[in-house]
Structure 1
Amino acid sequence: MQILHASTPDDYAATLAAHPRLLVDYYKDDCPGCRMLDMSLAKFATSDDAAGLVLLKVRLEVLGEDFFRDLGLRQTPTLALYRDGTEAARLAGFQAPGQIARAVGLYLATATADA
């Protein structure tokens, strides 16, 4: 799983447009749940379910509270799943590796798996 970081709203928009299967981790530095989600994502990244996915890390301290509010984010961490640039699901709070894998299987299945 490739990991990218958004440092501007333009980075964020370009990444959404460029990657058909994308996980977005909205987080902030002083959030214990965010650190726990990082550990889950690291474990998930080593699984077969993560093959071909891109993870975009979006930090509140970098893009700002207004950016987060404009997206309708109410808490960190929040993990969003995007398919072809459209949000398919949003998972608020800590997610275990198995929960992430289930959501990816449900919302980001490849075209081959859909057939």
Structure 2
Amino acid sequence: MSESGEPVLSSSPVLSSSFTLEGRTLWFGTIELHQEEVVISGWTWTGPVTERIDIEEIKKVEKWTVTLGPNIRLYRANGKRPVFGRIHKEAKFWELAFEKDDRVDLTLRH
């Protein structure tokens, strides 16, 4: 929230893709890359969910080039559970974006 109490809106996404979580239900899932955060949203059994992960909080990103199954894992510096899932389209653009960002350690797996 801003000093006036108004909610602070996140920047427009740099990237946005459909996304599924490995081992957890997420319908109509999306993952968005903003300048300062990654936003994962969708629906679970309990209703709509949105999770915001500050870029500074991401310790490491692992990216796989595979045709099926999970292709990305985000490790957090604060010890919270890693985000493990599949970016369904344009995953290569995510790889390039994380590669350019000095705040993120990218590891490519094959």
TM-score in same-fold range (> 0.5): no
TM-score, structure 2 length as denominator? Answer: 0.32
Q: Which has the higher helix share?
A: 1
Return the structure number with greater relative CO, CA threshold 8 A, min gap 6: 1
Bigger fraction of residues in strand: 2
